[in-house]
């Protein structure tokens, strides 16, 4: 299993943060008036049977005090489906089209563990079908997808949890809670903080290949469905499986793959779950139109002055414009300090199972997840274009730059659309 910041696995973080031991789980089909009493077991469907298959169901349901039963699994590769049948049991019904899975009335929660270019459409479809959603990170492939997911989840009253748990651990830190209160108070008019995320992004290891020659599509694989809303490129095994991360068509390199882990706690600590940076500048090599390339650092600034720096590993010059700096009570005048100290601590974040039961937002809720991965998307836009961009976090568009906005809201291959 991939580890979160500091070498702690996501499962360990969630175990430590579990707030829902012993609570009852309420499936969708028993919520109506006059129905039978709530069950303690969620009926689940799994979309994507690769390396992360079932991981979110374990982490965000079972290890948070709930239970689930997997009823169905879906994948575009029949070899993976056969492996899923052996792993999960003969009772699991198999599908090659995710739409057939989400239309089942007996499924309460859908776990999405496909490459990110499919996440948005699957999340929206699941929300429309009345399912609660566990979505692997990164949440989306481009910014406009994220807003569409937020809209659908809220419109249909669904519970959403992104596949990362960093904010649960961050909330336990007294220092993090104090920074959160200072930032949430609105009393700090100019934020002097500089947050530098160093060494967490594998850059050279996540570069795509530019010498790919078409190969025959394996008989077990529906390549057209795999590509889905992304361009239909000639098949090559490096575009499929784990290394899909190295291509703009499906993800966004090491930055997109890891940023949701790191930005999720950052967003909570600095109370930025409802906004985004306004200026973005990158130090990067020229990028190939299809294959992700190397970059050294990206500097992102918020409207209040907060500076966020993402620094790559093993390539390019080290970022040296400023030293890391936290926010503290010393940044406030005496009256403001008293007001912050009088503020109550933030309410504990809800686990997925608590959120399902209470119909409230989970800790890694949809707006926070969208804003967190927007950081990576903005960074990648600056990397790909090789210039500074200015961003409007309300309109969610790059200011005065049509080329950049074509990366904010990318076209989908027909017949797929948001």
Q: Are the CB atoms for 96 and 77 separated by under 8 Å?
A: no
> Apex CA 300: angle with CA 8 and CA 387, to 5°?
125
Is it the case that residue 67 has pLDDT exceeding 90? Answer: yes
Last residue of a domain, one of 168, 186, 219: 168
Same-domain pairing of 132 and 203: no
Same-domain pairing of 190 and 154: no
Q: What is the mean pLDDT of the chain?
A: 91
25 versus 218: the higher-pLDDT residue is 218
Per-residue pLDDT reduced to its tens digit, 151-207: 999 999 999 999 998 999 999 999 999 999 999 999 999 999 999 999 889 999 999
What's phi and psi for 417, nearest 5 deg? Answer: -160, 160
* Residue 263: how many other CB atoms lie within 10 Å: 29
Kindly indicate the confidence band of residue 255, based on its pLDDT and cuts at 50, 70 and 90.
very high
Domain residues for 372?
Answer: 171-343+366-408
Residues 6+ apart with CB under 8 A from 103: 129
Q: What DSSP string describes 226-284?
A: HHTTS--PPP-GGGSGGGGGGBTTT--HHHHHHHHHHHHHHHHHTT-TT---SEEEEEE
Q: Name the pTM for this structure.
A: 0.91
What's phi and psi for 72, nearest 5 deg? Answer: -150, 150
Position 355 in a domain: no
Q: How many structural domains comprise the chain? A: 2
**Mean pLDDT, residues 335-358 taken together:** 97
Measure the CA–CA gap between 137 and 122, rounded to whole angstroms: 13
Position 156 in a domain: yes
Kindly indicate the confidence band of residue 39, based on its pLDDT and cuts at 50, 70 and 90.
low
Same-domain pairing of 259 and 394: yes
Same-domain pairing of 153 and 236: no
Position 358 in a domain: no
- Give me the CATH number covering residue 55: 3.40.50.720
Is it the case that residue 395 has pLDDT exceeding 70? Answer: yes
**Mean pLDDT, residues 372-400 taken together:** 98
pLDDT at 286: 97
Q: Which two tokens stand for residue 75?
A: 């994948």
Q: What DSSP string describes 109-126?
A: EEEE-S-GGGHHHHHHHH
> Apex CA 285: angle with CA 372 and CA 267, to 5°?
10
Last residue of a domain, one of 168, 194, 213: 168
Residues 6+ apart with CB under 8 A from 394: none
pLDDT at 199: 82
Position 397 in a domain: yes
Same-domain pairing of 241 and 377: yes
Per-residue pLDDT reduced to its tens digit, 71-128: 999 999 999 999 999 999 999 999 999 999 999 999 999 999 999 999 999 999 999 9
Position 357 in a domain: no
Is it the case that residue 41 has pLDDT exceeding 90? Answer: yes
Measure the CA–CA gap between 223 and 218, rounded to whole angstroms: 9
Same-domain pairing of 85 and 98: yes
Is it the case that residue 33 has pLDDT exceeding 50? Answer: no
Sequence-ordered strand ranges (E) for 75-187: 93-95, 109-112, 132-135, 160-162
Same-domain pairing of 141 and 239: no
Q: Which two tokens stand for residue 377?
A: 């998307």
Same-domain pairing of 163 and 178: no
Alpha helices in 18-118 (DSSP H): 55-60, 78-88, 98-102
Last residue of a domain, one of 168, 184, 219: 168
pLDDT at 200: 87
Report residue 226 CA to chain centroid gap.
Answer: 20
Longest Cα pair distance anywhere in the chain, in angstroms? 70
Measure the CA–CA gap between 30 and 346, rounded to whole angstroms: 32
Q: Which two tokens stand for residue 117?
A: 């270019």
Position 395 in a domain: yes
């Amino acid at each position: 299993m991939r580890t979160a910041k500091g070498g702690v696995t996501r499962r360990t973080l969630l175990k430590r943060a579990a707030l829902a031991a012993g609570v009852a789980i309420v499936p969708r089909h028993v919520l109506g008036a006059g129905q039978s009493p709530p069950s303690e077991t969620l009926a689940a469907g799994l979309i994507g049977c690769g390396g992360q298959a079932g991981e979110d169901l374990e982490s965000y349901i079972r290890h948070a005090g709930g239970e689930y039963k997997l009823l169905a699994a879906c994948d575009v590769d029949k070899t993976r489906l056969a492996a899923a049948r052996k792993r999960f049991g003969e009772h699991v019904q198999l599908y090659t089209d995710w739409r057939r899975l989400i239309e089942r009335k007996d499924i309460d929660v859908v776990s999405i563990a496909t490459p990110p270019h499919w996440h948005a459409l699957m999340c929206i479809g699941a929300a429309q079908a009345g399912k609660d959603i566990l979505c692997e990170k990164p949440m989306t492939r481009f910014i406009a997808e994220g807003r569409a997911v937020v809209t659908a989840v809220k419109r249909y009253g669904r519970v959403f949890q992104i596949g990362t748990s960093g904010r649960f651990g961050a909330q336990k830190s007294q220092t993090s809670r104090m920074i959160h209160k200072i930032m949430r108070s609105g009393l700090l008019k100019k934020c002097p903080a500089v947050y530098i995320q160093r060494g967490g992004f594998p850059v050279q290891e996540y570069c795509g290949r530019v010498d790919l020659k078409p190969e025959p599509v394996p008989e077990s694989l529906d390549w057209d469905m795999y590509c889905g809303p992304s361009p239909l490129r000639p098949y090559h095994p490096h575009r499929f499986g784990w290394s899909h991360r190295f291509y703009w068509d499906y993800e966004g390199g090491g930055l997109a793959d890891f940023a949701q882990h790191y930005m999720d706690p950052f967003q909570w600590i600095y109370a930025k779950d409802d906004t985004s940076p306004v200026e973005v500048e990158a130090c990067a090599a020229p990028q190939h139109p299809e294959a992700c390339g190397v970059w050294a650092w990206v500097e992102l600034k918020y409207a209040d002055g907060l500076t966020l720096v993402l620094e790559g590993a093993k390539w390019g010059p080290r970022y040296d414009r400023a030293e890391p700096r936290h926010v503290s009570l010393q940044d406030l005048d005496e009256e403001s300090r008293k007001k912050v100290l009088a503020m109550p601590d933030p309410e504990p974040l809800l686990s997925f199972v608590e959120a399902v039961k209470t119909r409230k937002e989970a800790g890694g809720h949809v707006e926070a997840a969208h804003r967190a991965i927007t950081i990576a998307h903005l960074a990648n836009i600056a990397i790909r274009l090789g210039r500074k961009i200015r961003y409007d976090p309300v309109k969610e568009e790059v200011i005065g730059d049509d080329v950049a906005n074509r990366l904010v809201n990318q076209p989908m291959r027909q017949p797929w659309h948001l």
